[in-house]
Amino acid sequence: MTLGNAATRAMENKVVVVTGAGRGIGREIALLMAAHGAKIVVNDTGVSVSGDPGSETPGDEVVAKIVAQGGQAVASRDSVAEWSSAQRIIETAMDSYGSIDCVVNNAGILRDKIFHQMSPEDWEAVVRVHLFGSFYVSRAASGRFREKNGGTFVHMTSASGLVGNFGQANYSAAKLGIVALSKSIALDMARYGVRSNCICPFAWSRMVGSIPNTPDQEARLAKAKSVTPDTIAPIAVFLASDAAAGVTGQIFAVRLNEVFVMSQPRPIRSVHRSEGWTQEALAEHMLPTLKSSFSPLDRSADVFSWDPV
């Protein structure tokens, strides 16, 4: 990654907070944002995929790389999962650069368990980092965006939430919740010139690599390794840039060279009964009328069943 020339630097002098930026997708987003002229707060706590404390400082390595390439970056090791520490992440941007223009909510952990074996601790830990963390950091930045009458949020959702997957009730619930959070931000803050969008990334990362393998998934996961995190970074830069003015409240999936705009729930079919409904009438009339429009019990692999191209 090299710093681009001024004509192509879409984020020139903008200040961007990227959470979970020490590795994987977050790292590539931070590097590309910097290459486009942004000043970066590289937030990463250095924890393991499951959220256990660690001594590594991957965020410092990303900062060093950005600085070595002539960019500007500072590290933050504050957790997104607590209100007070999320405030400090935004304060780091303000103290370092005097402003903030974009938040990329990328931090996440996984604790996969089949539903009937999932502990309350596994549920809460994942939801707290993904959903609470996205709210805390976004809320901390929202006042600054309102003051300057502008700003952008880019949130990471997942096909596990949008479509479904085995053994990820905590992660799926949090990731679908992030979609609703993003839409609410887009609605509530449009009057202040603030935009909010989601990215559903398909890319090989530490988190994907930690998902338990089953024989039917091994070949698919092997192919997934060819889809590297750097393929996600360009759309994050685009959504954060002025080139995406007017784009808000949307969900974009990125899968190697493919970009999808994802649907959002809307009524698809209805049935009316002037005298009202009873349980018997629902079984006799509603069910056979609407059943052909029911959503199948899909998971991500069923919907995105072809190889990345």
Amino acid at 186: A
- How many CB atoms lie under 10 A from the CB of residue 218? 9
Nearest 10 degrees: Cα torsion 259, 197, 121, 17: 110
Catalytic-residue membership of 171: yes
Whether residue 182 has pLDDT greater than 60: yes
Q: What is the mean pLDDT of residues 152-166?
A: 97
Q: How do beta strands 15-19 and 102-105 pair? A: parallel
Structural domains in the chain?
Answer: 6-261 (3.40.50.720)
Whether residue 8 has pLDDT greater than 80: no
Q: Which residue has the higher pLDDT, 155 or 307?
A: 155
166: Cα within 13 Å, side-chain hemisphere: 9
Sign of CA dihedral 50, 51, 52, 53: positive
Among 5-14, 109-118, 177-186, 289-298, which stretch is predicted with the lowest mean pLDDT?
A: 5-14
Q: What is the mean pLDDT of residues 54-78?
A: 93
**Residue 246 backbone phi and psi in degrees, to 5:** 90, -10
Q: Phi/psi class of residue 256: alpha, beta or left (left: φ > 0; alpha: ψ in -120 to 50)?
A: left
Grade residue 215 by pLDDT with cuts at 50, 70 and 90.
Answer: low
Dist. CA 280–CA 255, nearest whole Å: 45
> Residue 196 in contact with residue 152, Cβ under 8 Å?
yes
C-alpha distances in Å from residue 292, one per residue of 225, 288, 296: 37, 8, 10
Grade residue 214 by pLDDT with cuts at 50, 70 and 90.
Answer: low
pLDDT value, residue 226: 73
Whether residue 164 has pLDDT greater than 70: yes
CA angle in degrees (0–180, nearest 5) for 254-259-264: 85
Catalytic entry in 97, 136, 171, 192: 171
In the chain, the percentage of residues whose pLDDT exceeds 70 is 90
Which tens digits make up the pLDDT trace of 92-141? Answer: 999 999 999 999 999 999 999 999 999 999 999 999 999 999 999 999 99
Whether residue 44 has pLDDT greater than 60: yes
232: Cα within 13 Å, side-chain hemisphere: 28
